[in-house]
């Protein structure tokens, strides 16, 4: 089923966003940010990028002829001096999957040129194809648009509009005049982007008709179309987290097991440091006069051991700890106290599996 989706966002410095990072992410490239002095590397995201290109107006000045993606967006970023500047407009367009792969690039290119590039904008277009929530392909494209027209010296002033009273004299119920946009063709006009949405609807439906598909897209809401059904919410992150409970259970069990063995290793290391460390002064110094005559003698320092002997001693110590923690240890100790022969020591218990952890 073909669906309409056309989202318009603005890249804002006030939200900590960078136009260089946005361009690098959408193109799956590594771009250097001259203003921040860092590199934005998204080459690991390039698997879903099918095609990318820069589109310039026919009247573009000579300084942008042949310019690459990194140099252009750094020039855009340098032209904005405010710390809360809006540096670019991000347009995301869903392409109906019923349109053949070979026709998707020229279809979007023609739409972007007619609606944006012909107005004087520079468009950085990247075609992506990912997996949708139903398991099928999700072709779409990202269009990064400049917000200032090109000039011979760099960039010109932004195309703006003001809100003025309706010239026809329309008013609200309380008598206030209805305010409308003074320039409906400005690049930031809501009316302008509504016309762009209508243009993409007509462009995509014409392409679907050419390929013989009965599917059509409609930019209107279900209420505007007279359909009495609830809209399906977009899954987005929920689609990727649908198996979160099972994944977290497995990882939490693995974490507990690793933390347990890390604690055992730390305790064993502390014991070895005490046994293998230099003798204290209280052990080496002769007994002073007046000291208690019944003070127990301390054990002599352990002789130097080879690495193999240390390993054997650690294994023996570890087996003793396992035997001491075993549920059968009290019963065995009672049997040995009454003179019964001690049973042979069994193999150590296997470590707990993640499924056993709670």
User: Whole-angstrom distance between the N-terminal and C-terminal Cα of the chain?
Assistant: 44
Tokens 């006009």 -> residue: 189
Cβ atoms within 10 Å, residue 72: 19
pLDDT tens digits, 61-72: 999 988 999 999
Does the global pTM surpass 0.95?
A: no
pLDDT of residue 128: 93
329, 330, 331, 337: CA torsion to nearest 10: 110
Cβ atoms within 10 Å, residue 1: 9
Residues 6+ apart with CB under 8 A from 6: 91, 92, 93, 94, 196, 197, 200, 219
pLDDT of residue 236: 65
**pLDDT in 10s for each residue of the chain, 358 residues:** 688 889 999 999 999 999 999 999 999 999 999 999 999 999 998 888 999 999 999 989 999 988 999 999 999 999 999 999 999 999 999 999 999 999 999 999 999 999 999 999 999 999 999 888 777 888 999 999 999 999 988 898 888 777 888 888 888 888 888 887 877 888 888 889 999 999 999 999 999 999 999 999 988 888 888 877 777 766 666 666 666 667 777 777 777 787 888 888 888 888 777 776 654 444 444 444 444 445 445 555 556 677 777 778 877 887 887 777 766 555 555 555 555 554 444 444 544 444 433 3
How far apart (Å, rounded) are the C-alpha atoms in residues 318 and 314? 6
Read off φ and ψ for residue 35, nearest 5 degrees: -70, -40
């Amino acid at each position: 089923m073909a669906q309409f989706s056309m989202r318009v966002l603005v890249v804002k410095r006030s939200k900590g966003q960078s136009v260089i990072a946005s361009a690098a992410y959408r193109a799956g490239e590594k771009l250097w940010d001259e203003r921040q002095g860092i590199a934005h590397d998204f080459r690991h995201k390039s698997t879903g990028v099918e095609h990318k290109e820069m589109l310039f107006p026919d009247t573009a000045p000579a300084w942008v002829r042949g310019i690459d993606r990194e140099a252009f967006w750094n020039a855009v970023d340098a032209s904005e001096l405010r710390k809360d500047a809006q540096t670019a407009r991000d347009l995301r367009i869903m392409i109906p999957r019923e349109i053949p792969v070979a026709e998707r690039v020229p279809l979007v290119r023609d739409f972007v040129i007619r609606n944006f590039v012909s107005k004087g904008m520079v468009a950085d277009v990247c075609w992506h194809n990912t997996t949708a929530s139903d398991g099928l392909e999700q072709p779409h494209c990202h269009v990064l648009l400049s917000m200032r027209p090109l000039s011979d010296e760099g960039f010109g002033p932004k195309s703006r509009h003001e809100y003025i009273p309706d010239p026809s004299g329309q008013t609200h119920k309380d008598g206030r005049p209805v305010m409308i946009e003074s320039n409906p063709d400005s690049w930031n006009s809501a009316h302008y982007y509504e016309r762009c949405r209508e243009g993409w609807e007509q462009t995509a439906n014409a392409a679907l008709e050419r390929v013989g598909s009965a599917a059509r897209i409609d930019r209107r809401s279900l209420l505007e179309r007279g359909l009495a059904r609830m809209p399906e919410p977009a899954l987005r992150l929920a689609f990727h987290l649908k198996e979160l409970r099972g994944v977290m259970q497995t990882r939490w069990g693995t974490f507990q097991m690793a933390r347990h063995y890390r604690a055992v290793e730390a305790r064993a290391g502390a014991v070895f440091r005490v046994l293998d460390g230099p003798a204290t002064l209280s052990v080496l110094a002769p007994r002073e006069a007046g000291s208690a005559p019944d003070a127990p003698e301390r054990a002599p320092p352990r002789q130097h051991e080879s690495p193999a002997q240390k390993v054997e001693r650690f294994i023996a110590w570890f087996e003793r700890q396992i035997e001491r923690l075993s549920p059968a240890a009290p019963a065995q100790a009672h049997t040995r106290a009454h003179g019964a022969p001690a049973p042979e020591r069994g193999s150590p218990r296997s470590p707990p599996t993640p499924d056993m952890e709670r």
